[in-house]
């Protein structure tokens, strides 16, 4: 009987631990962003500005200059392209824009 109670307690404890570890929390950090609009024919590169990067379960939200950009993981390769690099991440929507996120100020690198 005691062995069955220990096994039941261990099973319940492991189940609770597993449930807790599956709780997804958003990663959020201040980063640097450069927004390239397809309609902008300027030869100059846009100045990187501070932005807020958040990711939860692969879904990304970027806030830059009061504008919010959402990239759902389920839409990757369909409505946008994602390009991961050691210095940051690029998000592109064809014929619209490319938004590059740098983890550190690229002017300091």
pLDDT digits (tens, 9 = 90+) for 52-79: 999 999 999 999 999 999 999 999 999 9
The reply to whether 8 falls in a domain is: no
In a domain, 1, yes or no: no
Whole-model pTM over 0.85: no
Q: What are the pLDDT digits (tens) for 5-44?
A: 333 232 333 333 334 344 567 799 999 999 999 888 777 7
Sequential DSSP letters for 68-103 = EEEE-GGGBTTTBEEEEETTEEEEEETTTEEEEEES
- Does 14 fall in a domain? no
Structural domain count of the chain: 1
- Which residue do the tokens 């938004």 mark? 99
At residue 45, the pLDDT reads: 78
**74-89 mean pLDDT:** 96
Kindly report the CATH number assigned to the domain that includes residue 42.
2.30.29
Residue 17 forms part of a structural domain: no
Residue 16, domain member (yes or no): no
């Amino acid at each position: 009987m005691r062995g069955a109670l220990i096994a039941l307690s261990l099973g319940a404890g492991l189940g609770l631990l597993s449930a807790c570890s599956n709780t997804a929390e958003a990663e959020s950090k201040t980063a640097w962003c450069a927004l390239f609009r397809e309609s902008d024919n300027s030869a100059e590169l846009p100045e990187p500005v501070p932005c807020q990067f958040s990711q939860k379960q692969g879904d990304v939200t970027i806030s830059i200059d009061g504008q919010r950009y959402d990239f759902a993981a389920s839409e990757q390769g369909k409505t946008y392209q994602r390009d991961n690099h050691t210095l940051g991440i690029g998000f592109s929507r064809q014929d619209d824009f490319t938004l590059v996120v740098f983890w550190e100020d690229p002017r300091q690198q």
